[in-house]
Amino acid sequence: MKQNTPKRDGVPPHPKGLRAKRQAFYDVQNLLGDLPRKRDMLLEFLHLVQDEFHCLSESHLVAVAHELRLSFAEVYEVATFYAHFDVIKDNEPAPPLTVRVCDSLTCEMSGAKKLLGSLIKDSGKKFRVVRAPCMGRCDLAPVAEVGRNHITRATIKSVRTAISEGHTATKIPDAKLFETYKKNGGYTLLQDCLAGERTPNGLIKTLEGSKLKGMGGAGFPAGTKWRFVRKEPGPHLMTVNADEGEPGTFKDRFYLDRDPHRFLEGMLIAAWAVEATDVYIYLRDEYPGIYKLLKQEIFKLEATKLTTATRIHLRRGAGAYICGEESAMMESIEGKRGLPRHRPPYVSTAGLFGRPTLNHNVETLHWVRDVVEKGADWFASQGRNGGKGLRSYSISGRVRKPGMKLAPSGITMNELLEEYCGGMAKGHKFKAYLPGGASGGILPASLADIPLDFGTLEEHGCFIGSAGIIVLSDKDNIRDAVLNLMSFLANESCGQCTPCRVGTEKAVKLLEAKKLNRPLMRELCATMADASICGLGQAAGNPVLSMMKHFNKDFA
């Protein structure tokens, strides 16, 4: 027997659960237009709503769930997983303007804490201020984001000016565009590939001979990766990890800002070589100008016959460091939380949407054209101290000339300082350096003659990773630096596995204590390394362990 729900206070009957405002459904339908209602479009739909309304209200989340035929819980758990989605209740006012202040290590060294505190005092009801993880502009620290406009070398005055004058829009980088790139010989190699004048096996042999490795952090040989994917039964896919969230790393931004088509051509050549039907570029949300630039330039590419073999999909991340891990990135592209997968199977066998997938970093693809055109020997001969090839080192901190430095693989920190960075900043004495970002460990200045390359730092408890180098001086407290790094890792843990989720938080508490409990910290780091699912938890203890080994005074 059907049971009627009585009216109450003049409100008509409604199903159990969250009741959404009717206007929200019209809003979402208008924003989505004719876009396909596919689950893997969830993050992009959330971005579209937030772009328009500067937040995600509960009603809008219900409407998005309705369009995708998902439960509200599925949409809500995704929206609240990512730092850049601002979820609010329907009865809460939408923030008129959001100002984010980066609190990564380099920005903290440059005065970000003071900037954040001053802005919080100013905010009131005019704008809200939130801390934010690394924004990929460490060479220009400190950094603040006013709306979608990044303020580099930010001061309280420059941020106030941007707010008062309404400078909140994204700026598109002044890059080499399609017409200029093609006029100077660009896409000739891709055309040769499409015309059958090159063979996939020929390209793979060239890459293998060049010793080109994956520059995202793992250092796996690029040619071998192509070969692995090609041998799998099709159809194949390709993903591009442009979500460089490692504190101190900004090399991909450097290349995308200036010469995006060299990367795009390398990407399409790789996709052709492994017979990928589709390629998905996963770009970090901290690069909104590059997002607009790539949309514009990919549109030009699609107007030619250069993309007939491979469809290009440009997707935005939403502020999750864990999505730099390849399987977590693929989960995110599929419209889910960025939770790393258990291995095996590896992504070359079962990656995006369960298909064999080639995954590459921006810098690796940037080198494909040069390696093929100039030859394997040209690239391999560029190294130093036993290294092979060229490497893009992102250098920030207490140096006179920070920035992206293209240098021979295997160069030492002392050589980088003197030959590329103009030495230490005035008034600072070289004390320590991070060779590989937040989890790559910390080494003292006395160990600055070690070649900076894959496999050379592991015996010292460190690794090169994506070569995000942060230089510390005698004016920096190492324990404070490690606390900053560990706080970042604790905030960015996806929470899927207990060793990482609980271990990173416990490590922060141990570092905050007056006296460091060394035996417990060593046990904790060993547990995280042995039992965590992915590299975040496995490497989280590196900064602490290397500090206890090399900097006793800072850990009294």
Separation between Cα atoms, residue 117 and residue 122, nearest integer Å? 9
Q: From the CA atom positions of the chain, what is the Rg in Å?
A: 24
Amino acid (one-letter) located at 224: T
Closest by CA position to 469, among listed 459, 457, 479:
457
Count the neighbouring beta carbons within 10 Å of the beta carbon of residue 14: 9
Please report the beta strands in 153-218, taking only residues with DSSP state E, as ranges in sequence order.
none
End-to-end, the C-alpha distance of the chain in Å comes to: 74
Q: What is the DSSP letter of 87?
A: E
Q: Are 523 and 529 in contact (CB under 8 A)?
A: no
Whether residue 423 contacts residue 417, with contact meaning beta carbons closer than 8 Å, is answered with: yes
Q: E strand or H helix at 200, and its extent?
A: helix 200-210
Domains of the chain: 22-88 (1.10.10), 98-164 (3.40.30.10), 178-374 (3.40.50.11540), 390-473 (3.10.20.600), 478-555 (1.20.1440.230)
Amino acid at 437: G
Distances (CA, A) of 1 to 4, 7, 8, 460: 10, 19, 22, 74
Q: What are the tens digits of pLDDT across the range 344-363?
A: 999 999 999 999 999 999 99
Q: What is the DSSP letter of 352?
A: G
Residues 274-303 have pLDDT tens digits of 999 999 999 999 999 999 999 999 999 999
Q: Length of the chain, please?
A: 556
Give the CB-side neighbour count of residue 38, counting CA atoms within 13 A: 9
Check whether the bond before 408 is cis (ω within 30° of 0). Answer: no
pLDDT tens for the chain, 556 residues: list them. 444 444 444 444 444 567 789 999 999 999 999 999 999 999 999 999 999 999 999 999 999 999 999 999 999 999 999 999 999 999 898 888 999 999 999 999 999 999 999 999 988 778 999 999 999 999 999 999 999 999 999 999 999 999 999 999 999 999 999 999 999 999 999 999 999 999 999 999 999 999 999 998 888 999 999 999 999 998 999 999 999 999 999 999 999 999 999 999 999 999 999 999 999 999 999 999 999 999 999 999 999 989 999 999 999 999 999 999 999 999 999 999 999 999 999 999 999 999 999 999 999 999 999 999 999 999 999 999 999 999 999 999 999 999 999 999 999 999 999 999 999 999 999 999 999 999 999 999 999 999 999 999 999 999 999 999 999 999 999 999 999 999 999 999 999 999 999 999 999 999 999 999 999 999 999 999 999 999 999 999 999 999 999 998 765 5
